[in-house]
Amino acid sequence: MLEVLGLAKSFGLQAIFKNFGLTLPQGRFTVLVGPSGCGKSTLFDCLTGVVSADQGTIVWQENEHGHLGSLAAYMQQKDMLLPWLTLEENTLLPVQAKPRALRDMQQAKETLSQIFEKIGLSGFEAHYPYQVSGGMRQRCALARTLMFDRNLVLLDEPLSALDAITRRELQHLLLMLQKEFGKTVLMITHDIEEALVLADEIILLSSAPMTILERFQPQAPKPRDFSLPEFMEIKARILCRLLKEKESIQV
């Protein structure tokens, strides 16, 4: 379980969040939704140690940590693939960084082969990033995230740059991989329908200083049917709250 207790971060006189708290159950998919600029990415920066929190405690699996940089796998909006490496070489970077890289490499390649098979990249191992589509590059980035072999995965809008069809395909892929690998996932998105597709729990956030406005736990099993009244009701409530947040900023 991940617990964030009393986290605070300010830049100058601007408080991004104060006394912020969050709990993620083990093996669940939690999605954060909130207005642009509310502090979601700054929260991830504090969790991963990119920036230091002003105060607060981070607890992962009952142990307190200054940050989760070495404990969580992190996937961003950009694929961040190195253009001079093949897809296979990019995906194996987390293994090469380990002290026992040579000893673990053969097993890692076998694991990679299985993952590439699952995500539709078999046969493209020797291709370079410029030789494949944006969706395939993002699939490769997702495979690299899994190769970190961390139980906690942080996803910062990883699908937002993709077209609608590719995005829907990767949403289902995320669901499949999260179920098969049993990861605890915390994801940021601005797409309410994406949150409804993926989340065990949706957490709606306020504008800065960021607080939790409301929590939603869709009950329908995944994959989900958007024609269900439950989803229309949740989407309407989230949109209404976000509109009120936007109006409060403008005032």
Q: How far apart are the C-alpha atoms of 74 and 95, rounded to whole Å?
A: 15
Q: What is the pLDDT of residue 52?
A: 92
Q: What is the pLDDT of residue 174?
A: 82
Q: What is the pLDDT of residue 33?
A: 94
Cα torsion 39, 42, 43, 44 to 10°: value is 130
Q: What is the pLDDT of residue 95?
A: 80
pLDDT, tens digit only, all 251 positions of the chain: 899 999 999 999 999 999 999 998 888 999 999 988 889 999 999 999 999 999 999 999 888 998 988 889 888 888 889 999 999 999 998 887 665 544 567 788 888 888 888 888 999 999 999 999 988 998 899 888 888 888 899 999 888 777 888 888 888 888 877 788 788 999 999 888 889 888 999 999 998 899 999 999 988 888 777 677 888 889 899 998 888 877 666 54
Residue 17 near residue 53 (C-beta atoms within 8 A): no
Q: What is the pLDDT of residue 212?
A: 94
Q: What is the pLDDT of residue 103?
A: 55
Q: What is the pLDDT of residue 249?
A: 60
Residue 44 near residue 156 (C-beta atoms within 8 A): yes
**SS3 sequence of 99-166:** CCHHHHHHHHHHHHHHHHHHHCCCCCCCCCHHHCCHHHHHHHHHHHHHHCCCCEEEEECCCCCCCHHH
Q: What is the pLDDT of residue 248?
A: 65
The residue type of 155 is L
User: How far, CA to CA in Å, does 132 sit from each of 49, 81, 82, 116, 118?
Assistant: 32, 12, 13, 14, 17
Strands (E), the chain: 2-11, 14-24, 29-33, 55-60, 63-65, 72-75, 152-156, 184-188, 201-205, 212-216
Q: How far apart are the C-alpha atoms of 190 and 17, rounded to whole Å?
A: 19
Q: What is the pLDDT of residue 97?
A: 66
Structure token digits, residue 238: 């989230």
Burial zone of 34 (CB within 10 Å; 0-12 exposed, 13-18 middle, 19+ buried): buried
Query: Which residue in 158, 173, 147, 137 sits closest to 73, CA to CA?
Result: 147
Query: Which residue in 224, 223, 145 sits closest to 181, CA to CA?
Result: 145
Give the strand order in the sheet containing 55-60. 14-24, 2-11, 55-60, 63-65
Which residues are 202's β-sheet partners?
31, 216
Structure token digits, residue 42: 């700054």
Q: What is the pLDDT of residue 167?
A: 81
